[in-house]
Structure 1
């Protein structure tokens, strides 16, 4: 297959995003910022950059964990084997991302859709698990604080199984 030009590849990505009716910005040729709507993670912002040889994708998922870093890193590595087109990664401060690269030859509307679908499913399906592992103590503390003040727990309901003292497993050590 002959080399495809940056303008040609840019047009493929632009048309794919427009056809899919995805919210996106196009700050420059070969650069896109896409917002994927979710249910657990309400939105995932994805950067797409067409480089000299590949399309790079990067999506921020959550900030560095407050606790259980090694447990979270192990979870991410174990789930990389099940990922399509993207892998879990961390940056120099420990923030969690989904990242990937596609060679120019396979940049098609179908492949872009498949790749964005992979990002969305991984970020959205696993978001609460990542928060429970890396921020469980903070979430439990927030739950308790809201209960004491009579505040709404609506946006914490996804964590009720481990945050609500009535549902928490009893600690055998006290």
Structure 2
């Protein structure tokens, strides 16, 4: 078993991550030494908040994907579990209440600017590409209620605009 990293190596990784995030022009907050909260912008999932945390042996990567499905939990989880076979560096996982995350760990020896770029690209792509289908599976009734409410608002606005 290898020993945990020393202070000098932790500081080097902290600097590497800071510099890489700045070079990639990503919005981020350095929460503490070796701990970064990165904002990844998307088209379907508008924002994916992603943690990069230097641990004793690995760089932890963790991003909130969506809350626990309100319905069809098994179908939603099965859909995302099927996606895990095609992912690099991170995978879909759930916490004790059923909320869904993208999580992974990179050995510290493999942490480079290129690998940080690659892993954040994967997180952003997987979150954005899978968000709409996962939401449709896990929140179908809520989506239908929203559509009906919007249709009623549009109809009411149309009737109000007509001279009476």
TM-score > 0.5 by shorter chain: yes
Unaligned runs of 5+ in 1: 152-174
State the SS of the aligned residue for 1:26.
Answer: strand
Q: Which residue of structure 2 aligns with residue 47 of structure 1?
A: 51
Q: Please, which of 63, 78, 81 is the counterpart of residue 82 of structure 2?
A: 78
User: Is 1:30 aligned to residue 34 of structure 2?
Assistant: yes
Q: How much does 1:150 deviate?
A: 1.4
For these two proteins, the number of residue pairs brought into alignment is 149
Q: CA RMSD in A?
A: 1.1
Q: Which residue of structure 2 aligns with residue 10 of structure 1?
A: 14
User: Is 1:116 aligned to residue 114 of structure 2?
Assistant: no
Q: Which residue of structure 1 aligns with residue 132 of structure 2?
A: 128
Measured in 2, the distance between the counterparts of 1:71 and 1:56 equals: 28
Structure 1 stretches of 4+ with a deviation exceeding 3 A read none
Which protein has the bigger helix share?
A: 2
Measured in 2, the distance between the counterparts of 1:127 and 1:73 equals: 12
Unaligned runs of 5+ in 2: 156-164
